[in-house]
Structure 1
């Protein structure tokens, strides 16, 4: 994005425009802009009945993988630095509505394993005061982002809806040519202001081509309304063409500690999906038992969006003819 494009996005007044063009914008300029453009809180209560995912790379200095607190916001507030939706020392939990997108948001090419934590509401009756700032350009109507865009459209009057879209454009702005971190300086200040009146901020994930949401929760909402459901240790995605499918271990929270388990497919649980009843289940069982990896690709892993005791859906690809075989199964933790 060019600087002029960003200035137009901000709808900046003459003084702010001059400071931006001269590369002399100050924190006071940004705070004045935020104050003038955040008078209307674009928020309302939503149940947010979704799982939320946060990804984190493994690292040499991360030793306590049994501590639930290591999978949420950064615990040491002094070490928190400004990011897109938080100011320095402001603890927030960054999540996505899809586990693969959660990884794409942090991906940097490292050949390390990845830990993906899945979060949900602590209590079924919980709602969140949410600031919706979703711009509609490029959003698929049947996607997660499209669903919440429609909720926003129905709940906000046309003028406020327009403001929400404009705010979404500013919050999600790409980097500006030649101006390191300028978009983050504005978006973090805006988000900090919005968090004074809401618990969560909905924006569209660019990594998902406009289909999924990023939901940022402030610390107080995490402490009172969110609960970690599971943690998945993922084999380094770089070893598998970037697909985070290879789940090594599954962590179950218990008394603020993570209990790690290996997992296996329950061989007695295989069944066919309702729309694939014409397949030969006995023949599929034989393929699975032989496990011929030269002919078949076995994509049989726990599904992140399922409860652990649900039936999971997997695919077997026949490399000789390209056929795809769909099966459902349960997993056992060991």
Structure 2
């Protein structure tokens, strides 16, 4: 029996910028996240994938509280944490921590690693110096680094070691939910494997929940329990990882997986999609993917497509998914 979700999002949207001007056209806001609803169970690894600019990182920042949500509700353990004053929001969301995409850029080059890790303890619970040092050494040991690493500076570490330091920086705060933003980008295959094994080991040891943001579909396939596919700020398909990769239903998901490189023969037949995603400042009516979808019909443009159950645990925002799965031919001339 499933327990209550540790994290719930209800119609969360994030709009950036925008300005109303006298006697001149207004500058529209960028709808970076356009209304996301999902629930994450404790101990789960939820993968979030999609093209660059689809809103994955902005969604993660909104969950953490670095980016203020424009509308919607975020709950942690059933308690509403959205819409709070900054100080109260930081207190309520302490259980959520974020591992940056570029850990080296997130570290102060003038501070030693130990000083950086201690700073988190000073800010969050005001721990005294005598208490901080053992906790720093324990956090470094948890990610496979020697205590002496605390006396060194960021430029003295390799990319894989910086990933470990980024993990140690948030583990010292004892989180329950960790948002991992491209944790293996820029690493060679052997170091990637080491980092992924470390993530799984830490998750099992500390009973953590991961939100795994990544472009690397091969890593998502092997690591994640469920996968949410984002397009233009919204989730267009969410399902267990085995179904997402074995039986994708949305045309965008199918195109995304077909474009991924693979060594084994077979797999999805590539169906090309045209052009670039529309501007997030001018969201089109109807289905967000209609302008690029090879299976588009007039009804797709007229009606907004929202997530709906396709089968148990599998939701998709496409009215034609059954026809597409049954082999319906494209309705648009791809050569045009």
| Alignment TM-score > 0.5, same fold | no
TM-score (norm 2): 0.23
TM-score (norm 1): 0.24
- Please state which structure has a larger fraction of its residues in strand: 1
Structure of larger gyration radius: 1
